Amino acid sequence: MFHLRSHRRTFVFGETELGWLLEGLALGPNPAVAGLGEELRTIDLKNLRARHEVYLRSRLSLTEFGKAVLAHQDDFSRHNPIDRWWGGTHLTNDRLWRYGPGLTRP
């Protein structure tokens, strides 16, 4: 995910943003991804080198919950807190825009 940037065929997110997104999927109350280094919880957010090393050592897999989310059988936001700014919009569990056939308002 981090080493093969050219294979991702997308340059929307850099490694730092991908790491933060991955942490949100793996380190929440009900993770969708397993195998991400728990030490990320204690490494300073500004210590990008140490964080990157943990990402590279991690062996990721989907949890059963992650498989259910991927199959549209469960909803990640029902089991995990959402609180982030995205594109100038503050997203929370109560104010979560969705993509489907079109953009759906909360």
User: Residue 5 has what pLDDT?
Assistant: 56
Rounded to two decimals, what is the model's pTM? 0.79
Residue-wise pLDDT for 32-81, tens only, equals 999 999 999 999 999 999 998 999 899 999 999 999 999 999 999 999 99
Let me know: does 65 contact 80? Beta carbons within 8 Å.
Answer: no
Q: Encoding tokens for residue 1?
A: 């995910």
